[in-house]
Structure 1
Amino acid sequence: MIFCRLLSCLLLVGRSTAAKNAEILALRHEVAVLRRQVQRPRLSWADRAVLTALAKHLPPVLRRHRLVTPSTLLIWHRRLVRWKWRQTAIRSGRPPLPQETVALIQRLGTENPTWGYVRNQGELRRLGNRVAAATIRRVLLRSGLPPAPQRASQQTWRTFLHTQAHTLLACDFMHVDTVFLKRLYVFFVMEIATRRVHVLSVTAHPTGAWITQPARNLLMDLDDRAGRFRFLIRDRDSKFTATFNAVFAGNGTTLIPTPPQNPRSNAFAERWIRTARTECTDRLLITGERHLRTVLDQYAEHYNAGRAHRGLDLRAPDDDPNVIPLPATTVRRRQVLGGLLNEYHPTPPRPPYRSQETPSSAA
């Protein structure tokens, strides 16, 4: 900026006095116009330095009518003095909590909505953190978490799904258009905890009676495990009649209708529909009900036993989570649906071949 100002001064030397006076008058008028529009301009430190240096060469009368007056220059000087002699403020009181402790308090408050401040204090002490209950209250309120009674009453649908996943079933309908432009409907049920899918029935004319009998068959197939499921999530379709509700009510299962126009309330079933379409039905030409039932039976078997799931630590629903497979020397591929899907299974290494010793060699 200094170089540009010096260069402009050198250029002004060659100009006539009349031109300079005309430019000064034009600049004064422009400044007057801008002052009517801008109440308080913002100046940088470079602008302040240039105006301070040029103000020394102006007559005292002209200094009072500038954008920067002598009083403003004195204010800038006092600010510089304060900035030079300022000291870092020393905060009084207790030192702040470490970020790890704050994150742990927020985690305990979020994951345990029924825990009060003293209960969180006791849990933190067991984990080796001595924090006062008032501090825990302040941290939780700052994070937007109300006291325990309010947090317990504000249970969201997502929290309900996570806490009750092992007792939840979800059902829904899926439609597939055949090669002859005929629409078929598929009724399926999913176990939320294990993501296991049961394809119950396929038809072109869905009715209330059509889904009632497959519901009875499902409870018979579940046998002893049927008593574990306390809730069934379904939408508000008219095909879910009172007879269908009575089948699960006899098993002690409570039916929970999803809110209107809220597919996220049945997110697990909706996700399976998208997965089945992406991996299976959208890549095949379906000819009829029998063909679709065969395809979906094979895909459900692959989904339950041969497909890794993100929500299950990259395991299949039928995999034993306590078994760690040993490394295999040979990996074999099994094609599903004519090569549309692939499953890979390890083959354990064969034991080394031992030749049988003859009696004469042993002797």
Structure 2
Amino acid sequence: MDREIRDLIRQMNSANPLWGAPRIHGELLKLGIEVSQATVAKYMMRRRGAPSPTWRSFLRNQAEGIAAIDMFVVASASFRLLYVMIILGHARRELVRTAVTEHPTAAWLSRQVTEAFPWDTAPRYLLRDRDASYGSYFSSRVKAMDITEVITAPRSPWQNAFVERVIGSIRRECLDHILVFNERHLHRVLFSYVDYYHRSRTHLSLDKDCPDPRPIMPRRIGKVIAIPKVGGLHHRYERLAA
């Protein structure tokens, strides 16, 4: 193993303390560095703590026609509760839409679905939980778009596993490390994270590629540079031509 590669693994590990061996391995593959994930783990700095959970496969055969919607709560610095709505496409784990509000009414949620899916791009199925915010108005709008609602059982978040995993990633990789001041600030933070999520973050379920595929950069192009993302919480690594 070249010293340059060992140093790069440790540099990525130091600059991105939230990353594990799979994420660093994915970045190295995008830089044209062919090493095994076990080798990456060998040269990482040792930290205490439990390993990240694996991403369980869920409804894989019908992923193209499935989307999921869910909400989670973020407390601002002034202790106001802000509700974040996300719509996730299962095919390539893309965040189709994110939105923030203080009052998640059925009419507001319906409008988010309409704007997320123009009439000719609507998925066949939409997974959601039993939150009372959706209501009959939301169900009528979804039905008019020829989307079949799949409602999970009570207290069974594992039945909507993909979107729950994304919410966990947003919290662990972004919001748990940022103090949110207000709704506008939360919009900006989410916009920055979604851009990183789509264009830079490698995903285990996508063979360590991004929702927007990243090209592999051969080693002959030049040296490796780090590009800060999400305010420096994460980095994207590319090769810069000499």
Normalised TM-score (structure 2): 0.71
Q: For residue 181 of structure 1, what is the aligned residue in structure 2?
A: 79
- The answer to whether the 8 A contact 1:280-1:299 is kept is yes
- The answer to whether the 8 A contact 1:186-1:199 is kept is no
Distance, in Å, in 2 between the alignment partners of 1:206 and 1:160 is 28
Asked if 1:167 corresponds to 2:59, the answer is no
Distance, in Å, in 2 between the alignment partners of 1:175 and 1:199 is 16
Distance, in Å, in 2 between the alignment partners of 1:231 and 1:346 is 40
Off by >3 Å, runs of 4+ in structure 1 = none
Asked if 1:192 corresponds to 2:85, the answer is no
Q: Highest relative contact order (Cα 8 Å, sep 6+), 1 or 2?
A: 2
Give the match's secondary structure for 2:92.
Answer: coil
- The answer to whether the 8 A contact 2:74-2:81 is kept is yes
- Structure 2 CA distance for partners of 1:300 and 1:160, relative to 1, 3 Å: closer
Q: For residue 326 of structure 1, what is the aligned residue in structure 2?
A: 218
1:62-94, Cα deviation, whole Å (9 max, x unpaired): xxxxxxxxxxxxxxxxxxxxxxxxxxxxxxxxx
- The answer to whether the 8 A contact 1:199-1:300 is kept is no
Distance, in Å, in 2 between the alignment partners of 1:159 and 1:268 is 9
The sequence identity of aligned pairs, in percent, is 34
- Structure 2 CA distance for partners of 1:289 and 1:331, relative to 1, 3 Å: same
**Matching of residues 33-44 of structure 1 within 5 Å:** none
- The answer to whether the 8 A contact 1:215-1:244 is kept is no
Normalised TM-score (structure 1): 0.48
Asked if 1:271 corresponds to 2:169, the answer is no
Q: For residue 230 of structure 2, what is the aligned residue in structure 1?
A: 337
1:270-309, Cα deviation, whole Å (9 max, x unpaired): 1111111111001000000000011001101111111000
Distance, in Å, in 2 between the alignment partners of 1:160 and 1:177 is 30
Asked if 1:252 corresponds to 2:150, the answer is no
- The answer to whether the 8 A contact 1:199-1:296 is kept is no
1:162-209, Cα deviation, whole Å (9 max, x unpaired): 221111101100111111111110011001110001343211222112
- Structure 2 CA distance for partners of 1:337 and 1:160, relative to 1, 3 Å: closer
Q: Which amino acid counterpart does residue 108 of structure 2 have in structure 1?
A: W
Rg larger in structure? 1
Distance, in Å, in 1 between the alignment partners of 2:195 and 2:142 is 25
Q: Aligned to 2:130, which of 226, 233, 236?
A: 236
- The answer to whether the 8 A contact 1:171-1:190 is kept is yes
Matched residues, number: 186
Distance, in Å, in 2 between the alignment partners of 1:245 and 1:331 is 50
Q: For residue 205 of structure 1, what is the aligned residue in structure 2?
A: 103
Give the match's secondary structure for 1:180.
Answer: coil
- The answer to whether the 8 A contact 1:307-1:316 is kept is yes
Shift of 1:250: 2.6
- Structure 2 CA distance for partners of 1:249 and 1:216, relative to 1, 3 Å: same
Asked if 1:303 corresponds to 2:197, the answer is yes
- Structure 2 CA distance for partners of 1:217 and 1:310, relative to 1, 3 Å: same
Q: For residue 4 of structure 1, what is the aligned residue in structure 2?
A: none
Shift of 1:324: 4.6
Q: Which amino acid counterpart does residue 155 of structure 2 have in structure 1?
A: Q
**Matching of residues 284-303 of structure 1 within 5 Å:** 284-303=178-197
Distance, in Å, in 2 between the alignment partners of 1:335 and 1:259 is 41
- The answer to whether the 8 A contact 1:170-1:190 is kept is yes
Distance, in Å, in 2 between the alignment partners of 1:314 and 1:160 is 18
Distance, in Å, in 1 between the alignment partners of 2:234 and 2:69 is 25
**Matching of residues 1-363 of structure 1 within 5 Å:** 161-220=59-118, 224=120, 226-227=121-122, 229-319=123-213, 324-327=216-219, 328-347=221-240, 349=241
